[in-house]
Amino acid sequence: MSHEIAKKKLTCQVPLFHGMDDLILDNICDRLRPLVLSSGEKVIREGDPVQRMVFILQGKLRSTQPLTKGVVATCMLGAGSFLGDELLSWCLRRPFVDRLPASSATFECVEAAQAFCLGAPDLRFITEHFRYNFANEKLKRTARYYSSNWRTWAAVNIQLAWRRYRARTSADLAAPPLVGGPDDGDRRLRHYAAMFMSLRPHDHLE
């Protein structure tokens, strides 16, 4: 695929790159690699080191992440979404740590997909040379909206807020049974809320 075609696909189909200037896009496109995924293919498993960011052009992927016993957070990713944003935080963290971050979820292709991928060394090169551009507030908001980590984090915090609301307004009603009891359920939710807070992809931009 030619540089110009890759650049056009990236800017048209992946909102994360909307509004980036040509110099950054040219450097990114020089390092992108096309990726074709088959239905049922595991892209990365939870706990594995994240070695690349993947930007989906078409098709669907599903992320799954166990939260508590019998409870799994699921998120669907389609065209314009991406995975591997832990790698972006890793590149921008100061002081820099050589060890690659671990994936927070398992990603599986559920509908044949086409994508671009950007390896860890290439992403580090881009963020080191254009660090200021990645501090852009619009880019951060877009990254959060399309990040599966952020969506799961939001779902966990909404669930926790709902439990607290019910506890305040319906203290006299018995709570639904939870493994380990209600206190254990809230404790686990607080734990996962804190965990997802730590996964914000742009904590280290300032």
Domain 3-197: homologous superfamily in CATH? Jelly Rolls (2.60.120.10)
Query: Pick the residue with more confidence: 155 or 25?
Result: 25
Across 105-131, average pLDDT: 94
Sign of the torsion formed by the C-alpha atoms of 86, 89, 90 and 91: positive
Using DSSP, state whether 83 is helix, strand or coil: strand
Termini Cα distance of the chain: 35
**To 5 degrees, how large is the angle CA 106–CA 99–CA 31?**
75
Confidence of residue 96 (pLDDT cuts 50, 70, 90): confident
CA distance linking residue 134 with residue 139, whole number of Å:
7
Q: What is the pLDDT of residue 7?
A: 76
Buried b (16+ CB within 10 A) or exposed e, 122-137: bbbbbbeebeeebeee
- Domain residue ranges of the chain, discontinuous segments joined by +: 3-197
**Range from 57-61, 81-85, 94-98, 190-194 that averages highest in pLDDT:** 57-61
Task: pLDDT band for 100, please (50, 70, 90 cuts).
Answer: very high
Q: Quick one: the chain helix, strand, coil %, rounded to 5? A: 45, 25, 30
Q: How confident is the model at residue 199 (pLDDT cuts 50, 70, 90)?
A: very low
Residue pair 192/158 in contact (Cβ under 8 Å)? The answer is: no
Kindly report whether the global pTM for this prediction surpasses the value 0.75.
no
Mean per-residue pLDDT for 53-73? 85
